[in-house]
A and B are shown apart, each in its own frame.
Chain A
């Protein structure tokens, strides 16, 4: 299934958001949004992905 992760289209086997993070090697402290909606970490296991979903994975970064 094709998913857009942080702006890049990827072909993935994952069916849920937590599987996607594992498949793409995201670990540690990240937050997620799917199709511009926040998905809390506790709901990632249950969050089923659909073809063309846009997933954002963000992490701590420098800021002013």
Chain B
């Protein structure tokens, strides 16, 4: 099993902590799903930060702070440094947003920030597109994990470009890959895992579901099902039918 900078995940579901109806529901979603990683952020302190921190710590999951909302290398690097101090982890989910409507990563700045942060001792989880060459550049910059998008953040569209995600899996066979963003349904999560991805990262699909706790369980089970299916070496699809019941020995009745 691949590890994330030397850490094996107990559960291939990475779950965001934003947008839940209440902290209690957030907590329950983590407990019911068994998600192995929680993504978190940093925002201006308004009094709620310490309570949130205590709750997250008690979940006993790995913490992956993000640089959400950063549009420049400097902003992202500074945010990463603040996150490392506050959350006491070298892990950083590096987001460098390039487009306001699609929240598409600015991959040019992403590579630059990844290089700086790696040199500063961070273990970078880059939120990237499904572009192979960008993936190569990120690895050259020191990343040991890639997190291509399935679809734009919060869109729930699933895997927009299965071909590209397959190509990434084939090209970077030894690298832990995570589909980050765009997952809307458990079938999307299962699909990503069936392609051989090592984890999925999602937030909105669970937090904004009518019953987030139930959906977190559905996502966890689908993720696991997809992982098992990949390990089980699925059959190839074919155009024509092939009888599964033996033809030989059928009684002559007509």
Contact = CB atoms under 8 A, between A and B. Distances in A.
Contacts of A29: 49-50, 53, 86
A37 to B, nearest CB: 7
Contacts of B49: 28-30, 58-61
Contact of A60 (B16, B20, B53, B204): B53
Contact of A58 (B20, B45, B68): B45
A37 B68 CA distance: 18
Contacts of A59: 42-46, 48-50, 52-53, 86
B168 interface: no
B2 interface: no
Of the listed residues B42, B75, B153, the one surrounded by the most CB atoms of chain A closer than 10 A to its CB is: B42
Contacts of B86: 29-31, 58-60
Contact of B52 (A37, A41, A62): A62
A15 B46 CA distance: 23
A26 B16 contact: no
B29 interface: no
Interface stretch (B77-85, B189-197, B213-221, B240-248): B77-85
B39 interface: yes
Given A30-B49, A63-B66, A64-B203, A58 B16 contact: no
Interface residues of B, number: 36
A59 B48 CA distance: 8
B73 interface: no
Interface in B31-57: 39-46, 48-50, 52-53, 56
B180 to A, nearest CB: 9
A8 B45 CA distance: 13
A14 interface: no
B33 to A, nearest CB: 15
B87 interface: yes
7 contacts: A36-B78, A38-B82, A40-B81, A40-B85, A60-B40, A60-B86, A61-B52
Interface of B: 16-20, 26, 39-46, 48-50, 52-53, 56, 65-66, 68, 74-75, 78, 81-83, 85-87, 153-154, 203-204
Given A62-B26, A64-B19, A64-B66, 16 more contacts: A27-B50, A28-B49, A30-B45, A31-B83, A33-B78, A58-B42, A58-B43, A59-B42, A59-B44, A60-B52, A61-B43, A62-B16, A63-B66, A63-B68, A64-B41, A64-B154
Interface of A: 6-7, 26-33, 36-38, 40-41, 56-64
